[in-house]
Amino acid sequence: MSFRRISILAAVALLFGTLVVTTARAQSVSSFTLKNSANADVALSSYADRKAVVVVFVNPSCAFSKLYQGRLNELKAKYSGRGVEFMFINAPINLEASTDTDADKMKVKTAGNELAYLTDEGQKASTMLGATKTPEAFLLVPAGSGFTVRYKGAIDDNAQVESYVKEAYLAQALDNILAGKPAGVTDKRAAGCLIKKF
């Protein structure tokens, strides 16, 4: 067998293996229910008519979450009118910064707008999605009776300096999904504060 034929076979095997791994990684999510600042239920299933739902785990005490406040507000403003729902979940990062329901801590004011944070009682949503850090984003698309995770991880490639961002992973995935394309990159490791598990 020639070297060229072996190379072609190896490339085909590698491509097939990548497709299988990518397909296997597609995670299905059933609905979960969160609480808003008025202690009312907010169910993921209520957004089944949206083109996509972005779930972001944040914590007001996490320095990384603070650095992303403006960026999250801009993403919400840019995509909300295009059929995308945003859910910002306040996740505990340590015993002192547990899921506090104090109204002042449950909202972030940026550019005159407020992003209302939701509480994940019993950490059901973070466990179901596999969230480990704040901030960490999950792009969900309605599929059948649930949702499929199309992207998870970092919001972009520079957690510390917004002006140095070269790759806006979440925005790119959203643009691709809204254009009817695959998300592109499906997983990027998030930098942030570790979520405290109880």
Domain range summary for the chain, segments of one domain joined by +: 27-194
Question: Tell me, what's the pLDDT at 116?
Answer: 78
Question: Tell me, what's the pLDDT at 8?
Answer: 52
Question: Tell me, what's the pLDDT at 144?
Answer: 85
User: pTM value?
Assistant: 0.79
Q: How far from chain centre, in Å, is Cα 137?
A: 2
pLDDT digit string (tens) for 132-183?
999 999 999 999 889 999 999 999 999 999 999 999 999 999 999 999 999 9
- The residues that bridge with 115 in the sheet, in sequence order, are 108
Give the burial string for 39-53 (b: 16+ CB within 10 Å, else e).
Answer: eeebebeebeebbbb
Question: Tell me, what's the pLDDT at 150?
Answer: 97
Low-confidence residues of the chain: pLDDT under 50: 3, 7, 9, 11-24, 95, 97-113
Query: Which of these CATH numbers, 3.90.920.10, 3.20.20.140, 3.30.413.10, 3.40.30.10, describes 27-194?
Result: 3.40.30.10
Question: Tell me, what's the pLDDT at 145?
Answer: 85
Q: How far from chain centre, in Å, is Cα 23?
A: 19
- Judging by DSSP bridges, how do beta strands 52-58 and 84-90 pair with one another? parallel
